[in-house]
Amino acid sequence: MYDFEYLKPKALAEAASILAGDGDAKALAGGMTFIPVLKQRLNKPSKVVDLAALGLSGIKVSGETVEIGAMTTHATVAASADVKRAIPALAKLAGNIGDEAVRHRGTIGGSLANNDPSACYPAAVLAMGATIVTNKRRIEADNYFQGMFATALEQGEVITSVVFPVPAKAAYMKFANPASRYAMVGVFVAKGPKGTRVAVTGAGQNGVFRHKAMEEALAKNWSADAVAGVKTPADGLNSDIHASAEYRAHLVGVMAKRAVAAAG
Amino acid sequence: MNAPFEGIGASMKRKEDLRFISGHGHYVDDINRPGQLYAYIKRSDRAHAELRGIDTAAAKASAGVVAVYTSADLTGIGGLPCGWQIHNKDGSPMAEPAHPVLASGKVRHVGDPVAVVIAETKQQAKDAAEKLVVDYKDLPAVATVTDAVKPGAAQVHEGAAGNVCYDWEIGDKGAVDAAFAKAAKTVKLDLTNNRLIPNAMEPRAAIGEYDPTTGEHTLYTTSQNPHVIRLLMGAFVLQIPEHKLRVVAPDVGGGFGSKIYHYAEEAIVTWASGKLAQPVKWAAERNESFMSDAHGRDHVSTAELALAADGTFLALRVKTLCNMGAYLSTFAPAVPTYLYATLLAGVYKTPAIYAEVKAVFTNTVPVDAYRGAGRPEASFLLERLVDVAARDTGMDRVEIRRKNFIPKDAFPYQTPVALQYDSGDYVSTLDAAMKHADWAGFPARRAAAKAKGKLRGIGMSTYLEACGIAPSKVVGSLGARAGLYEVANIRVHPTGSVTVFTGTHSHGQGHETTMAQLVSDQLGVPFSQVEVVHGDTSKIPFGMGTYGSRSLAVGGSAMVKAMDKIITKGRKIAAHLLEAAVEDVEFKDGKFTVAGTDRSKTLSEIALTAYVPHNYPIEELEPGLDETAFYDPKNFTYPGGCHVCEVEIDAETGVVSVVNFTAVDDVGRVVNPMIVEGQVQGGVAQGIGQALLENAVYDQDGQLLSGSFMDYTMPRADNLPNIKVGTETTLCTHNPLGVKGCGEVGAIGSPPAVINAVVDALSDYGVRHLDMPASPQKIWSIIQGAPRMAAE
């Protein structure tokens, strides 16, 4: 990696101000993507602002929402009895990200700020209609994801937590890329306060997206058969050495069907 | 009191594991020498380009930089040598283009080294390397063997017309043609053996150090054969005589063949450390491993089998195109010829075989031996072809094999492709594997799988390999430029403990345990009193290293020969002490005894006498008890066996799961059953990796698309079943231990068993063959295409 200045502020305002004041400064959450990027010299930040001392981790469950602090690790979410009770699909999703080591470092805020097109969390956030809370505002999921590695976050804006409305039914099915184990296709289905929603990660050229045709089918008839009949066009889907766009389109259907069946 | 059994046949825990699992292994990158500098290799990002110039000024001026070298600076240095020469059909030698240490004039693959930056820190070397300005003029590139032989294809080397390195043949073409002409049935199959990247856990590393007061160079390197590196680099590249060049290969974290070869980086750090009179370290980052470690496999073949009406094999005809990559790696030319085509008889008594092998250059990383080396390519071709022959002729897959096996009373058996097998019993391994795998119970398991919506298939391979490499005279006549004997030095210390110096090298195989057991067993010395030393040319007389499952068969046999000398001398000393005739002294269980009496001396008493020779036949016998032996094997060894694989396929997604795997191998005498089991399981894991997961993919411009673990699918624990391992033993008849070797059987036997199972699972879809890897996308495409194919 290139040399940079490492900072570990103790207050959110201080972190935000450093990041706002320097366009080349970067925030560090769990670092599970960022540190490999640095090691490969694909990024040359002036400062790396470690968010670990800001007190941003923790899980709060009320009757209607699950709020997860931005620096909460995947392992914590996966092991949380509260999350398992309120949104078991979310705990299960977190428990299948990366490997054990990654789950003990990687965070929900880091995953969402990075918005890797093959990450799992974006599918959960979009399908459940979660709210991204930052040091400046609250951003609805539908406005947050803006394409591959692109989000609504502004320079100096730091995610502090994510608020999930508790759905009546939800499930996530991931078809892992055989090599990287990222989602080659991941489908999150949810029926809850924000409606019946289906979000697809890993497949789209522009990152996570909502599958409107499946949502309509499920709104009429919440059943595996209902989504099984919906054809996903291959246009706009990724194609690589592991999966053609057509194969991904097919897998979207299979994963959606299995997710609905798992959601009950 | 009975001592615990520690000798041949005991599953002793591995001596080396305490240091490995407690973080005390000592690898090249753990070594740091005083005043050490760091080298960073600038590599080509182009597959094929003219190298018009490198502007090094900014890099040289960069902070901490001590030197920047390009090929222009390497005056008086030879190219990297190739250790094997193959001849064409017409008798002319293969094309052998220069392989410069740093690219000169042209770059020929992504990863080809173009310059080296040496600085005080690795960071500084990397920073400076970014300031190198390389002037490339791109040239058209060629990445696959099929493209390389097309008319008008881009030429990788001026001296290799049509990109052909050699066009070689073996066998009796006339006999094969005649057999095909009169055959009742013929079967033809086109197949590809996928290209693999070895990915040893420890990336390659090297440190060069020079002592100006003695003129001695030391190279610490991640090598499977330090003496070979000393020979090749000293004699051919840097012109350093052996007595001034020490090569140390300390703990090495896996090799699988990829650390046999002499690589440019070894020569660079040795040369630069001499030039700068400071130690120079280079350690590969993982992305460099992908683009600079020799790759494996990469064959495209057509195979044809002629059969009599009753299914008897009459003749085999094979045509193979194999990829050499951009340059000839150390043993590359031998792999698709003498380690592949000579294995095409397999376990079958096919009377006539003819194979043509054309090796071609491409703009890819050099290809060389990788676990199994040539033999997995042969077993995959043959065992797929036999299954297809059964299918096409309506015979049972097992019966067609039984019918054509070389019977156990036919040994020694001369094949039509040069090899003479010494021993084997293919029915015993087949029967045992079918029993352990419950082959008979498969239909019920298939029905149960079908009930839950899964396609279940079973497949087998009955394979053979040649290892224990190799008789020097034979390989010399086949083009080897080295002998392939092995060397052992057995040193019995004055108090009776033993140090064994071996020219083989352990990089995960457990030699420190297996060889200690062997010596403990033969000399009757406790296991804990035997230490095995390897990997340092300054300690070990000589050696050819570890590859081709040779360490026990050849290296162990050298130990037996050295121990025989120890025992012979010991008997003379004992006879003196016991006042008996030498011929009356017997050696057994660590004791020299006068036959028919209870008068005896232990080995440690004899050793003490040998080093403190007060009462000693000093006129006739030298003091000391320290013997060296060179052992040149009389033949290859021929392990073989039967692997049975059972898979389930999720037809909706195309995912193949290996649900059962049984390997029953004949590896000759087993010294440590636990280590054999681990070796076979590791090999099977790599074989399943090749069959289902791994694939090195280049695009048509020669860019490596699977250049990291994000895209190159390594097998992981959850891809593998609990692998059942059994052994059925026939002894090797020509080495003193009866051992055959177990390092490669897993990788050789398993891939065809897996694919045969996958094809069986897809039998409802009319599938006759599919190439590796059987990825989910490939299986899904086949299932999608099947109804359409049926309609046509």
Q: Does domain A5-165 have CATH number 3.30.465.10?
A: yes
Q: Is residue B145 part of a domain?
A: no
Q: Is residue B12 part of a domain?
A: no
pLDDT reported for residue B4:
81
Q: Is residue B535 part of a domain?
A: yes
Q: Distance (Å, rounded) from C-alpha B275 to C-alpha B271?
A: 6
Nearest to A180 among B126, B130, B710 (CB): B710
Residue B148's contacts (CB-CB under 8 Å, 6 or more residues apart) are B142, B156, B163, B323, B360, B361, B362
Looking at the predicted structure, is the pLDDT value of residue B400 above 50? yes
Q: pLDDT per residue over B458-474, tens digit each?
A: 999 999 999 999 999 99
Tokens standing for A204?
Answer: 């789209």
Indicate the number of domains in chain B. 3
Residue B790 — pLDDT band, cuts 50, 70, 90?
Answer: very low
Q: Is residue B112 part of a domain?
A: yes
Q: Do A241 and B711 touch (CB under 8 A)?
A: yes
Q: Distance (Å, rounded) from C-alpha A186 to C-alpha A45?
A: 31
Q: Which of B671, B468, B484, B488 is nearest to B562 (CA)?
A: B488
CATH of the domain at B606: 3.30.365.10
* Same domain membership, residue B320 and residue B231: no
Q: Do A179 and B709 touch (CB under 8 A)?
A: yes
Q: What is the mean pLDDT of chain B?
A: 96
Q: Residues of A with CB below 8 A from B693's CB?
A: 178-179
Residue B791 — pLDDT band, cuts 50, 70, 90?
Answer: very low
Count of pairs with CB atoms under 8 A, one residue in A, one in B: 44
What average pLDDT does range B123-128 have in this prediction? 97
* Same domain membership, residue B570 and residue B677: no
Which domain-ending residue is among B240, B271, B292? B292
Q: pLDDT per residue over B516-569, tens digit each?
A: 999 999 999 999 999 999 999 999 999 999 999 999 999 999 999 999 999 999
What average pLDDT does range A182-198 have in this prediction? 97
Tokens standing for B223?
Answer: 């090598």
Looking at the predicted structure, is the pLDDT value of residue B789 above 80? no
pLDDT reported for residue A63:
85
Q: pLDDT per residue over A201-255, tens digit each?
A: 999 999 999 999 999 999 999 999 999 999 999 999 999 999 999 999 999 999 9
Nearest to B713 among A175, A179, A254 (CB): A179
Looking at the predicted structure, is the pLDDT value of residue A124 above 90? yes
Q: pLDDT per residue over B371-397, tens digit each?
A: 999 999 999 999 999 999 999 999 999
Q: pLDDT per residue over A249-264, tens digit each?
A: 999 999 999 999 999 9
* Same domain membership, residue B449 and residue B319: yes
Q: Is residue B625 part of a domain?
A: yes
Q: Do B287 and A251 touch (CB under 8 A)?
A: no
Q: pLDDT per residue over B185-218, tens digit each?
A: 999 999 999 999 999 999 999 999 999 999 999 9
Q: Is the peptide bond before B412 cis (omega within 30 degrees of 0)?
A: yes
B705 touches chain A (CB under 8 A): yes
* Same domain membership, residue B206 and residue B278: yes
**What are the b/e assignments for B584-613, b being 16+ CB within 10 Å?**
ebebeebebbbeeeeebbbbbbbbbbbbeb
Nearest to A250 among B126, B127, B780 (CB): B780
Q: Residues of B with CB below 8 A from A3's CB?
A: 123
Q: Which part of chain A has CATH 3.30.465.10?
A: 5-165
Which domain-ending residue is among B582, B613, B631? B631
Looking at the predicted structure, is the pLDDT value of residue B792 above 70? no
Residue of chain B whose Cα is closest to the Cα of A242: B777
Q: Residues of B with CB below 8 A from A182's CB?
A: 710
Q: Which of B684, B693, B655 is nearest to B750 (CA)?
A: B684
Q: Is residue B474 part of a domain?
A: no
Q: Is residue B389 part of a domain?
A: yes
* Same domain membership, residue B206 and residue B277: yes
Residue of chain B whose Cα is closest to the Cα of A254: B652
* Same domain membership, residue B283 and residue B385: no
Looking at the predicted structure, is the pLDDT value of residue B714 above 70? yes
CATH of the domain at B93: 3.90.1170.50
Residue of chain B whose Cα is closest to the Cα of A175: B653
Q: Do A178 and B287 touch (CB under 8 A)?
A: no
Residue B785 — pLDDT band, cuts 50, 70, 90?
Answer: confident
* Same domain membership, residue B226 and residue B83: yes
pLDDT reported for residue B2:
63
**What are the b/e assignments for B236-274, b being 16+ CB within 10 Å?**
bbbebeeeebbbbbbbbbbbbbbbbbbbbbbbbbbbbbb
Q: Distance (Å, rounded) from C-alpha B493 to C-alpha B474?
A: 37
A19 Ramachandran zone, left/alpha/beta (phi>0; psi -120 to 50): alpha
> Measured between CA atoms, how close is A89 to chain B, in angstroms?
22
Residue B565's contacts (CB-CB under 8 Å, 6 or more residues apart) are B627, B629
B709 touches chain A (CB under 8 A): yes
Looking at the predicted structure, is the pLDDT value of residue B9 above 70? yes
Interface probe with A: pick from B712, B777, B780, most Cβ of A within 10 Å = B777
* Same domain membership, residue B495 and residue B463: no
> Measured between CA atoms, how close is A155 to chain B, in angstroms?
28
* Same domain membership, residue B537 and residue B424: no
Which domain-ending residue is among B611, B631, B651? B631
For domain A169-263, give the CATH number: 3.30.390.50
Residue of chain A whose Cα is closest to the Cα of B124: A2
**What CA–CA distances, in Å, run from A109 to A122, B502, B561?**
10, 55, 66
pLDDT reported for residue A136:
97
Q: Residues of A with CB below 8 A from B711's CB?
A: 179-180, 240-242
Tokens standing for A28?
Answer: 């560090």
* Same domain membership, residue B735 and residue B639: yes
Q: Distance (Å, rounded) from C-alpha B397 to C-alpha B379?
A: 16
Residue B786 — pLDDT band, cuts 50, 70, 90?
Answer: low
* Same domain membership, residue B313 and residue B397: yes
Q: Do A179 and B653 touch (CB under 8 A)?
A: no
Q: By residue range, what is the domain housing residue B549? A: 17-23+485-631
* Same domain membership, residue B264 and residue B302: no
Return the beta strands (E) in B198-272 as ranges.
Answer: 205-211, 216-221, 245-248
Q: Is residue B375 part of a domain?
A: yes
- Long-range (24+ apart) CB contacts under 8 A made by A6-14 are A6/A47, A6/A48, A6/A50, A7/A47, A7/A48, A7/A49, A7/A50, A8/A49, A8/A50, A8/A52, A8/A53, A9/A49, A9/A50, A9/A53, A9/A54, A10/A53, A10/A54, A11/A54, A12/A54, A12/A56, A12/A135, A12/A158, A12/A160, A13/A135
Q: Residues of B with CB below 8 A from A250's CB?
A: 780
